[in-house]
Amino acid sequence: MTRAIMSHGISRLVASLAIALGVATSAGAQPCPSVPGDAFSFIKAGAASCPVNPSVRWTAGNVVYDCDFFGDADKLINCSGDAATCIDLCRASANIWNTDLPGRFTLINATDPVAFCDPNDGRVSVGGTTTLCNGTKFGPLVLAVTYSIFSGPQLIDANITVNQAFTFTQASFQATLAHEFGHVLGLSHPDQCDKNFNVLMRSSSLRGSQDPCFVLDPTQADINGAERIYPLCGDADLNGTVTVTDGVLTLRAA
């Protein structure tokens, strides 16, 4: 099992967080492990390394992203396909979160170009690089990094860089980006918070991309975590439905 790599930094007026996905290794042919529904964790905004409740979120419930950088000569990635394939896989990794979070959060494909690694535009650029958005080098086992910027509990920017030093299968490339989009939403690595299970948001995959237990898309646990960050309007008790109980809780809070 490869070691997870996580780095932290401070920007001028906002805290910034870089979260990395490590190289996948295979655990051999075994029955797919069961995963509890609470195998998720949240990006921290304050002192707590593993906050119990969602720590940061996009207040608008959506953010624009741009995968077209994988078509640029200096931002290409070997995803076992041409540039168009890489772009399509990137968009698929965002769309699976949209499918899983209807009415909660939307990753919006850009209709006009997004600036690459701009920390102030409130939009997500995605492309291949040799360094992180802040200019530092990738760790030796780091596949990709999301550099997120937040002000208090509000996410205000995020950008994803994929390490050009690696060659990906199409499945591992899509899973890597789905993992990074999970960071964009506000999810962190559960295995670094004592929840070491076979989920998309684990810091390094437990299975190789050819293994039948390889995690390609968000598991139910990953989705549960994202739903905690972005509850349905009026769902005060976060159980996934809006009921009379939610109305009572809302009135009590008011």
Q: 45-97: per-residue pLDDT in tens?
A: 877 789 999 999 999 999 999 999 999 999 999 999 999 999 999 999 999 99
Looking at residue 33, its pLDDT comes to 86
Specify the DSSP class assigned to residue 154: E
The helix (H) or strand (E) run that includes residue 223 is: helix 220-229
Closest CA to 20 of 129, 155, 103: 129
Residue pair 92/84 in contact (Cβ under 8 Å)? The answer is no
Could you tell me what percent of the chain has a pLDDT over 90?
Answer: 74
Q: pTM of the prediction? A: 0.85
Cα separation, 240 vs 36, in Å, equals: 17
Looking at residue 21, its pLDDT comes to 65
Residues of the chain with pLDDT under 50: 1-18, 24-28, 236, 238, 240-241, 246-254
Cα separation, 122 vs 104, in Å, equals: 19
Closest CA to 171 of 179, 159, 183: 179
225 burial class (0-12, 13-18, 19+ CB within 10 angstroms)? buried
Looking at residue 26, its pLDDT comes to 47
